[in-house]
A and B are shown apart, each in its own frame.
Chain A
Amino acid sequence: MSTPVATQSPPTPSSPDGPVRVERSLGARVLGRPEIGAFAAAVVIFVFFFVIAPPFRTPEALSTILYSASTIGIVALGVALLMIGGEFDLSSGVAVTTSALASAMLSYQLSLNVWVGVIVSLVISLAIGALNGWLLVKTKLPSFLITLSTFFVLQGVNLGVTKLVTGTVATTNINQLDGFASARTIFAGDIPLGFMTLKASVIWWLVFVAVATWILLRTRTGNWIFAVGGNQDSARAVGVPVAKVKIGLFMGVAFMAWFLGQHLLMNFSTVQAGLGVGNELIYIVAAVVGGALLTGGFGSAIGAAIGAFIFGMTTQGIVYAGWDPNWFKTFLGVMLLLAVLVNLYIKNSASKRK
């Protein structure tokens, strides 16, 4: 898959005077985008629920779905970039909880302003991401193994440290602390739009997607990410700083996990230490449904966003349709399989056209 990537990647800014663009028809270019399959699947699923579930048609429902998509999509975005760079992160689900716990416990136990906890927790999260990346670069072990270890370590640390500090496995409510109100507005506020109320996380999610898209398609770093994921050795041979890119990508996931962790904390003002386990797979699924390849070198930020949207739409759509809750997971599985199949079908027919 690394050959089509070369043609899809935008010209490198390092050669500003007239890069040679491979001219293709608009149709072929659109169909060659990683997220086109996911987009088609999203449309199909949207129409499906729109027809069978009347409550699904309301703006309130759209707001709930977008919120649902944003809480998956924020971390899935970081994970998608990492997967384009050819690596996995299984620790992202519990890393979210780690960041929320660190922030809550620091500010409460030391009676600090909430924002101090938020900032220190960012440092801790980035350090965990950097450690993941550094271990990977140093040991050259598969990221699956490294991050699986981090996953277990963090799970234990989350429980152990919380129990040690608070005496229970949940943090104390922080909503009386200074700075909580402003932190809540930033991370988990409600934005009234007149016809619907959006959660702040939705706006942040869209901003992050835009920034990630810009990085991937318009900067040298973006080219490096594709190159590292496509063929690491060739990338190194042409002077791409492979180690830096990989560590940076892990820190990107950590940043997203930190953000979602702060959202979780500000939304509920307390966190249970056992949360987050299992979410790492949902993030990976969202990225894959959105067109990221498990082998690296291919994918997009918008794709991951659409993947998360499909996930949010399906999860909530089942509720709006009023289906038997016992079959919930089965419906979800079938929907995701369909999304991936549509994705695959479109991608195959697209590559035949070229």
Chain B
Amino acid sequence: MLAVAAAAAVALTFTACSSQGGAQNQGQATSQRFTIAMITHEAPGDSFWDKIRAGAQQAATELNVDLKYSNNNDGGQQATLVQNAIDSKVNGIAVTLSYPDQVGPVALKAAQAGIPVVGFNQGIDNYTKYGLKMYFGSDETLAGQSAGQRLTQLNPGGKALCVIQEQGSVALETRCAGVKQAYANTENLQVNGTDLPSVQQTIQAKLQQDPTITDVVTLGAPVALAAMQAKQAAASQAKIVTFDLNADVAKAIQSDQIAFSVDQQPYVQGYMAVQALWLNLSNGNDLGGGKPVLTGPSFVDASNIGPITQYAEKNTR
């Protein structure tokens, strides 16, 4: 409680002076070097976040922005990081709202202190509630539905297995729910995403248990590769489709082992978050007309994989 009170007190102190700072910033020359804090819920060691960071870093380099990246996969800790950014008087904040209840109020505090805040990657349903100016990300429900629609063309009347690699993740559950809306015969499977052999074994077991499964939907690139192994071991004929891309998934799409990927374009999410903040700071712009700017779903399949393979190898797709 004492910490919360202290944090609130600190924030209140800044409420007054930073809003002046924001006004001053806009009056200055556009060649000014802005400091932008990017704060995510990344659990370390997932290559997905490399792409978000690569995009953000690219924008920062192009626009002469000092990018401060920090992350914590715990809602409370992530909120503290946002508070740190407010305390260190950054010019702008880009934040993921995977834990809206914990991180949202602090983001609102930053917005009230006159720091422009944009959301990206997670939080499409509640970013406006917390004073975030813009949002860059994929609409998970839409992404799930579009994937489901594609499955109805691929395997009409089939049965899909939707593999969730993180228990209790809202975004992942939303994707599977979206798939189910468009492709009614969809069942969820829970796997332990930090242990790839166990992911493979569990998918394998499920394919053996239910031979009527015609499609396996995975929600992350490494899981898709484990699903390929499982399919082979279980001698199943199921088609594999996945969310997200990496170099190996791109290759598998090329060789037709994976039917398609639903890409939310993380590189673009990171890039646009930084660029939009810069535009806002240097020119007062905002994007999206009050609506989220969608970076996905973008479909990658055999028809357009050609050049994308190189981008995936460069870690930008």
A residues bordering B, Cβ < 8 Å? 53, 55, 58, 60-61, 64-65, 67-68, 71, 155, 158-159, 163, 167-170, 172-173, 190, 197, 263-264, 267-270, 272-279, 312, 315-316, 319-320, 322, 325-326, 328-329
Contact = CB atoms under 8 A, between A and B. Distances in A.
Contacts of A269: 248
A316 B196 contact: no
Given A159-B45, A267-B197, A319 B315 contact: no
Contacts of B210: 55, 322
Mostly helix, strand, loop or mixed at chain B's interface? helix
B50 A64 contact: no
B44 A61 contact: no
Contacts of B167: 326, 328-329
Interface in B214-254: 222, 225-226, 229, 233-234, 246-248, 251
Given A267-B229, A276-B194, A278-B194, A319 B209 contact: yes
B195 interface: yes
Q: Which of B43, B167, B202 has the most A CB atoms < 10 Å from its CB?
A: B202
Contacts of B186: none
B198 A169 contact: no
Contacts of B201: 64, 67-68, 71, 312, 315-316
Contacts of B298: none
Given A55-B210, A68-B205, A269-B248, 16 more contacts: A55-B209, A64-B204, A65-B205, A163-B50, A167-B50, A167-B315, A169-B50, A170-B47, A272-B47, A273-B44, A279-B195, A319-B205, A319-B209, A320-B208, A322-B210, A326-B167
B206 interface: yes
Q: 7 closest pairs, A vs B, by CB?
A: A274-B45, A325-B190, A55-B209, A319-B205, A170-B47, A68-B201, A316-B205
Q: Which of A167, A170, A197, A322 has the most B CB atoms < 10 Å from its CB?
A: A170
B189 interface: yes
B202 A316 contact: yes
A131 B255 CA distance: 45
Contacts of B47: 168-170, 272
Contacts of B204: 64
A167 B51 CA distance: 10
A58 to B, nearest CB: 7
Contacts of B200: 267
A60 B190 contact: no
A344 to B, nearest CB: 27
B25 to A, nearest CB: 32
B194 A274 contact: yes
17 contacts: A68-B205, A71-B201, A159-B45, A167-B50, A167-B315, A168-B47, A170-B50, A170-B246, A173-B248, A197-B233, A267-B200, A268-B222, A272-B47, A272-B222, A275-B196, A315-B198, A325-B164
A19 to B, nearest CB: 43
A151 to B, nearest CB: 14
Given A64-B204, A71-B197, A267-B197, A328 B190 contact: yes
Interface in B154-177: 164, 167
Contacts of A263: 197
Nearest to B220: A272
A277 B73 CA distance: 14
Contact of B46 (A169, A315, A325): A169
B168 to A, nearest CB: 9
A246 B310 CA distance: 50
B188 interface: yes
Given A55-B208, A64-B204, A264-B197, A169 B44 contact: yes
Contact of B209 (A53, A68, A275): A53
A264 B226 CA distance: 11
Given A320-B208, A325-B189, A264 B196 contact: yes
A46 B137 CA distance: 46
Contacts of A68: 197-198, 201, 205
Contact of A275 (B50, B194, B205, B246): B194
B209 A322 contact: yes
Contacts of B198: 68, 71, 315
Q: Which of B43, B164, B206 has the most A CB atoms < 10 Å from its CB?
A: B206
B316 to A, nearest CB: 11
Nearest to B202: A319
Contacts of A264: 196-197
A173 B247 contact: yes
Q: Which of B43, B188, B222, B251 has the most A CB atoms < 10 Å from its CB?
A: B222
Contacts of A316: 201-202, 205
A271 to B, nearest CB: 8
Nearest to B47: A170
